[in-house]
Homo-oligomer: A and B are copies of this chain.
Amino acid sequence: MTAERPGVPIPEHPGIDTVRELALRCSNWGRWGADDQLGTLNHIQPDNVAAAARLVRSGRVFSLAIPVDDRGPQTGGIGRFNPIHLMIRDGNAAVTGTMARDFYGGRDTHLGVTDDLLIIPLQSGTQWDSLAHIVFENRIYNGYPATDVGSKGAIRNDIANARERVVGRGVLLDIPRLSGRPWLEPGEAVGAAELEASVRTQGVQVGRGDIVLIRTGQIGQCRHAGSWGTYAGGPAPGIGLDAAPWLFDREVAAMATDTWGAEVRPNQTPEVLQPLHIILVAHAGLLIGEIFDLEALAEDCASDGTYEFFFAAVPLPVTGGVGSPVNPVAVK
């Protein structure tokens, strides 16, 4: 299938036309029927999952989520703040005895229970963008009208569709390691060439149904600096325009990076914000993950030379959700 797709030359100063061409080039609208809401997750079939399970050797598990708390990278811009954690009842209430008064009608039942609550923007930390997250020309993935994402959330393409789908083979592409650096610098684009070099150098294949994790090292850079700095929305390394056909043609199921916005920033298209979200989410129907902490996993992959693993990163099935926090795990 991929062979028949024409190439899209990327001009020096790409604009909306190039984005439109790439969107068309990489479109999966209608590919799995007019009522599909899964997009490239369709590439993951039980066989892929079974094969992925066979990659497990030692049984070591790596969590790729940053902590869910108020020390995350968000600054409040575009409405995204860090998660707020509040106690509904805590251990102090058990110790002072007020828990019995406040929750059990004054009766001491010998039990103390603590409860808590999160106020969490679903795009605030390690997260999946759903296929309802990106609107282009009044449409979301598969051509549904943007108005399908209304006041109460997405009636189509919500993240709950992926509830038992993001399980399969994971592949880490560690881009800075190609050049022996700890991280890419803001503004460095990861294009088809870098992805290809990474695959070749690491000796790993990327194919149908894979979940591809692209490391730029930016989280490591922030950790080294001791501050998130402008991680949220500022300049960043990230994927470039010609990565789109590369991912599309290999029929990957999902893609995630260790940056806030996945794409190289400033974007390569001055007039189009986050063009790869338009191409990959709205048109290819590809789940994009962001703020995945790939540092420990990358260390391990470098040490054993194995860049593939069993990977599970199912979202919370938030009805109508246009995203979901997730704790992705790689099992080697």
Is A246's CB within 8 Å of the partner chain B? no
Min CB distance A165 to B, Å, is 7
Contacts of A1 in B (CB 8 A): none
CA distance A103 to B67 in the complex (A): 20
Are B79 and A321 in contact (CB-based, < 8 A)?
Answer: no
Min CB distance A284 to B, Å, is 15
Are A87 and B87 in contact (CB-based, < 8 A)?
Answer: yes
Are B167 and A92 in contact (CB-based, < 8 A)?
Answer: no
Are A118 and B118 in contact (CB-based, < 8 A)?
Answer: yes
Is A327's CB within 8 Å of the partner chain B? yes
Encode contact with B along A285-300: 1 for CB under 8 Å, 0 otherwise. 0000000000000000
CA distance A123 to B275 in the complex (A): 39
Is A220's CB within 8 Å of the partner chain B? no
Are A111 and B136 in contact (CB-based, < 8 A)?
Answer: yes
Is A222's CB within 8 Å of the partner chain B? no
Contacts of A87 in B (CB 8 A): 86-87, 149-153, 322
A45-104 contacts to B (CB < 8 Å): 45-54, 56-63, 65-71, 76, 78-81, 83-99, 101-104
Is A2's CB within 8 Å of the partner chain B? no
Contacts of A85 in B (CB 8 A): 152-153, 318-321
CA distance A48 to B54 in the complex (A): 14
Contacts of A275 in B (CB 8 A): 110-111
Of B71, B110, B140, B315, which is within 8 A of A91 by CB?
B140
Are A146 and B110 in contact (CB-based, < 8 A)?
Answer: no
Q: Give the contact-size bracket for chain A.
A: 35 or more
Is A181's CB within 8 Å of the partner chain B? no
Is A113's CB within 8 Å of the partner chain B? yes
Binds B, one of A3-11, A32-40, A266-274: A266-274
Are A117 and B86 in contact (CB-based, < 8 A)?
Answer: yes
Min CB distance A147 to B, Å, is 5
Encode contact with B along A125-169: 1 for CB under 8 Å, 0 otherwise. 000000011111110100001111111111100001001110100
Are A46 and B67 in contact (CB-based, < 8 A)?
Answer: no
Are A116 and B150 in contact (CB-based, < 8 A)?
Answer: no
Are B147 and A96 in contact (CB-based, < 8 A)?
Answer: yes
CA distance A113 to B154 in the complex (A): 12
Are B59 and A319 in contact (CB-based, < 8 A)?
Answer: no
- Known A91-B140, A164-B63; contact A319-B150, beta-carbon cutoff 8 A: no
Spell out A's residues near B (CB within 8 Å): 16, 19, 45-54, 56-63, 65-71, 76, 78-81, 83-99, 101-104, 109-123, 132-138, 140, 145-155, 160, 163-165, 167, 271-275, 277-278, 310, 312, 314-323, 325-327, 329, 331
Contact sample, A vs B, 6 pairs, CB 8 Å cutoff:
A91-B140, A91-B150, A111-B275, A118-B318, A118-B321, A312-B312
